[in-house]
Amino acid sequence: MKGVLLAGGTGSRLHPLTRITNKHLLPIYDRPMVNYAIEALVNAGITEVMVVTGGTHAGEFLRLLGNGHEFGIDRLSYGYQERPGGIAEALGLAERFVGEDPVLVMLADNIVGGSIRPMVEAFCANPTGARILLTPVEEERHLRHLGVPAFDESGRVCGIVEKPSDPPSTFGVTGIYCYDADVFRVIPTLEPSGRGELEITDVNNHYIRQGTMAFDVLEGFWGDAGESIDAYYAVNDFVREHGANKA
């Protein structure tokens, strides 16, 4: 399995911090944010990774990460997204890197307290369709800012609603996904959303309609350090006290 870390975007929700650097290079406790995503992939056994980024600070990732060997990566590649065209568009830039292999996609501002290895191993055992990682969310106010799955009577995900005013469940979709290579044939069929971007939720709903979507529920902490200034500092506080990516 190959890994794709998505580290682009404008980081507008973390202004003014992101006026001087990419948000994924901001510190979380004692390391740049992107280092935690790399650690999560390497700890899950993924050592071929592409970092997709963009904007004027893209070159700083090369300065930080180099060839990746220092971080346990065997092969590190880079992709450049010329404009903020959405998560699905950014993933599409990794098509030649991934080839026909299964791929784990992670938004590089996601921080997890535990390991994502169980999800990776489950998908590698049957690498067809898609698999998403869910997290329990107690606050309805928070759910309204996330993708939220709906479940049918058998407990399968039957749809994902983005930023719902009336959340259909108490789970949020994290920014961690597994796909088979067909994902690169799905992306060109997508229509841009109202904000002019190709949405990863549309990719996931394609697999749901196809009947090939599975999911795992994350145990322990999950935080989106790019969600807001408050969330950024809450993630910092958690990592400082408890650490991250623990087996």
* Overall average pLDDT of the 28-42 stretch: 98
Token readout for 237 is 């506080």
Q: Residue with structure tokens 């606050």?
A: 139
Residue 194's pLDDT is what?
87
DSSP per-residue codes, 109-136 = TEEESS--HHHHHHHHHS-SSEEEEEEE
Residue 67's pLDDT is what?
97
* Residue 10: pLDDT over 80: no
Q: Tens of pLDDT along 118-127?
A: 999 999 999 9
> What confidence category does residue 168 fall into, taking pLDDT thresholds of 50, 70 and 90?
very high
Q: Tens of pLDDT along 206-228?
A: 999 999 999 999 999 999 999 99
CA distance 15 to 21: 10
Please check whether residue 120 is in contact with residue 137, taking contact to mean a CB–CB distance below 8 angstroms: no
Residue 11's pLDDT is what?
81
- Domains parsed from the chain with CATH numbers: 2-242 (3.90.550.10)
* Residue 69: pLDDT over 90: yes
Distances (CA, A) of 90 to 9, 64, 146, 173, 218: 10, 21, 19, 18, 25
How many percent of the chain have pLDDT more than 70? 100
* Assessment of whether the complete model's pTM goes beyond 0.85: yes
Largest CA distance in the chain: 50
* Overall average pLDDT of the 143-166 stretch: 96
* Residue 9: pLDDT over 90: no
* Residue 132: pLDDT over 80: yes
Residue 88's pLDDT is what?
97
* Residue 87: pLDDT over 90: yes
CA distance 180 to 192: 22
> What confidence category does residue 78 fall into, taking pLDDT thresholds of 50, 70 and 90?
very high
Q: Which residues contact 89 (CB under 8 A, 6 or more apart)?
A: 81, 187, 197, 198
* Overall average pLDDT of the 229-245 stretch: 97
End-to-end CA distance of the chain: 19
Question: For all residues of the chain together, what is the average pLDDT?
Answer: 96
CA distance 91 to 87: 6
> What confidence category does residue 84 fall into, taking pLDDT thresholds of 50, 70 and 90?
confident
Distances (CA, A) of 188 to 159, 183, 192: 21, 9, 10
Closest CA to 66 of 38, 26, 28: 38
Q: Return the ∠ at Cα 139 (arms to 134 and 141), rounded to 5°.
A: 105
* Residue 112: pLDDT over 80: yes
Numbers of helices and strands, H then E, in the chain = 9, 13
Which residues make beta-bridge pairs with 78?
Answer: 51
